[in-house]
Structure 1
Amino acid sequence: MNVTVCGCGRWGTFLAWYTAVQCHHTVTLYGRETSVHFQQLRRTHTNGLVTLPEKMNFSSDLHNAVESAQMVIISIGAQNLRGFLQPLSPEECAGKTLVLCMKGLESDTGLRLTQVVREHLPDADVAVWVGPGHVQDFLQGIPNCMVVDSDTQAVKERVVHAFSSPLIRFYYGEDLLGNEVGAAAKNVIGIAAGMLDGLNKTALKGALMSRGTREVGRLIQAMGGKEISAYGLAHLGDYEATVFSRYSHNRQFGEDFVRGIPYDKLAEGVPTVTALLRLGSQYRVELPICQAVDAVLNGGQDANKVLSGLFLRSLKMEF
């Protein structure tokens, strides 16, 4: 099968390697001609972490890259998805399966990423591939479980059959809305976890995980999804990789933020918290953890005061 991977960041580059080496597909890696990462990969076949096979194809022509593929994996920043899709037409994507390997919500609208795709490509087959796993662990041969979800069972089966391997075991999702919102929201929980680490309040992560899952579950249910999805692989199942791992960009961003250290990598939870608060207002769901993260990031409030107040000063029934 011909597969195109769009995005040459850490995860996108790994997916190109995984799809070629573990799944034995013919892979084209698409990147912008102006991207330093793409130029390095095309020249050296490595980013210092992932080494791509010599037979890997590279393209900076989006139309040709999409046209040559039966499946298109998209792994870019969530806030860039709308602009990325703009040049593509419904005709050239007809009969292709788009797989979103990214976690986020559009900050300006609160839309889920599949909804953004549907606005531009209403007839495309779209799936999401989310759940726990870091490149560094996979490259050491440490397997993990992930989830694939879509509007239709046929699309889910197509994606799972194409990309299953001993390294990644897939589960079929049963709640596209819940898995998208849960996957996006776990990055906000990751930022909160990093803030607790930076404040030497790591012991509060247990409370963060428990209350965070409840909070996200309430939102999913209010939006029309299944509350239990918050307890699945897309959200709670991804906490180890996001709330504790030293490889987590969102956790590290939160830690560095409260310590006043600049952080130059993508922390998808930053725009996602804005989107979640928009949804919380729209569906009338209280999101205290999201509000606390936003108060620190965007409101200039003291992180120690806000987070301590969030977990240590409330008197209420747990459930």
Structure 2
Amino acid sequence: MTEVTVFGMGSFGTALANVLSQNGHKVLMWGKNDQSIKEVNENHQNTRYLSDVTLCENIKATADIKEATAFADIYLIALPTKAIREIVTQIDQIITSPKTFIHVAKGIENNTFKRVSEMIEDSISPEHNNGIGVLSGPSHAEEVVIKQPTTVAASSKSAEVSQLIQDLFMNQYLRVYTNQDLVGVELGGALKNVIAIASGVVSGMGFGDNAKAALITRGLAEISRLGEKLGADPMTFLGLGGIGDLIVTCTSTHSRNFTLGYKLGKGLTLDEALNDMNMVVEGIYTTKSVHDLAQIQHVDMPITNALYGVLFEDQPVDKSLEYLMGRDKKAE
């Protein structure tokens, strides 16, 4: 039995807390929503994010960050990318011994263009860092929490941390592979959200499987080009952290990124589309980061550029599609 603190009480943090508990580990969740905390502690539910799901009874929740940090030596960071520096900095100011950080965030920081593991490393003192890793891949929380077969990838600079993640989470319905390419796994998880919004847009516009297949295929080409330029192994993007995550996020209504794009394709503005979504849509912020980073790195990313125009420059979706389809002829 291992103690794990889960920072973040969204859908995926909750689903993975349940996995850990079912695997025999002691779990404490930390969050800021008093209603969710009360619900987990008293009713063993988190209906704000996972309705009609009963969680393991021994999962506890708290809003006290000091209690959360003292509970365990392993932290699962299941927070939106934009919140990670703030919360991890708070953690670092409290802890007095080395901790292992495992994150499931899928984003790239605006302006710095740093991956999440780099953000965590920046935010903790070296003496408090016992290793940083990521768990990523095609894994909707709504399916994981009801034990539907799922496969994901664990990666870290440290082989021991990758193995730890595999040992913590793997069971009869959640299969975890290790992958040595931390850069590729993190970039694949982040960049696929950009393509997922675009996939939702074309579906919302009424286009079918041909258009969606084109976006997934050419989107993978974009991801691979930028990833390789940033030091990733291009083969990673043919695995769970690449094409696997891309397929599931680009084709499912469980995906908040796809759902946002679908609403945009139906003619809603970005503010209107976000109005009734109670979860962070990471792809919005990642689109800005990737657009800016691609320009700096001189990497051609036409789908990303078109989506950036829709999200940040009020470009109509039909004009963005015309841009993509009307580009100069080239070899694949």
TM-score band, normalised by shorter chain = over 0.9
Task: State the Cα distance separating 1:244 from its structure 2 match.
Answer: 0.7
Whether the aligned pair in 2 keeps the contact of 1:190 and 1:242 (CA below 8 Å) is yes
2:265 is the counterpart of 1:254: no
Whether the aligned pair in 2 keeps the contact of 1:31 and 1:38 (CA below 8 Å) is yes
Aligned to 1:41: 40
- Runs of 4+, deviation exceeding 6 Å: none
Over the matched positions of the two proteins, sequence identity in percent amounts to: 28
TM-score by length of 2: 0.90
Aligned to 1:245: 252
Matches of 2:105 and 2:96 in 1, distance apart? 19
Change (3 A) 1:35 1:303: farther
2:159 is aligned with what amino acid? Q
2:289 is the counterpart of 1:288: no
What aligned pairs does 1:1-319 form with structure 2 within 5 A after superposition?
Answer: 1-21=2-22, 23-32=23-32, 34-46=33-45, 47=47, 48-89=51-92, 92=95, 94-123=97-126, 124=129, 125-202=131-208, 203-259=210-266, 260=268, 262-263=273-274, 264=277, 265-311=279-325, 313-318=327-332
Q: Which runs of 5+ in 1 are unaligned?
A: none
1:262 is aligned with what amino acid? A
SS in 1 for 2:69: helix
Change (3 A) 1:122 1:201: farther
Change (3 A) 1:57 1:39: closer
Two-structure CA RMSD over aligned residues (Å): 1.7
CA-to-partner distance for each residue in 1:12-68, whole Å, 9 max, x for gaps?
A: 1111111101x1101111112x44433433342212243222222222121221222
Matches of 1:11 and 1:49 in 2, distance apart? 15
Matches of 1:162 and 1:94 in 2, distance apart? 21
Matches of 1:105 and 1:49 in 2, distance apart? 32
SS in 1 for 2:241: coil
Change (3 A) 1:142 1:163: same
2:25 is aligned with what amino acid? H
Task: State the Cα distance separating 1:144 from its structure 2 match.
Answer: 1.2
Task: State the Cα distance separating 1:122 from its structure 2 match.
Answer: 4.7
CA-to-partner distance for each residue in 1:225-258, whole Å, 9 max, x for gaps?
A: 2122222211211123201112111000001123
Q: How many residues align?
A: 316
Matches of 2:34 and 2:196 in 1, distance apart? 28
Whether the aligned pair in 2 keeps the contact of 1:66 and 1:93 (CA below 8 Å) is no
Matches of 2:321 and 2:215 in 1, distance apart? 10
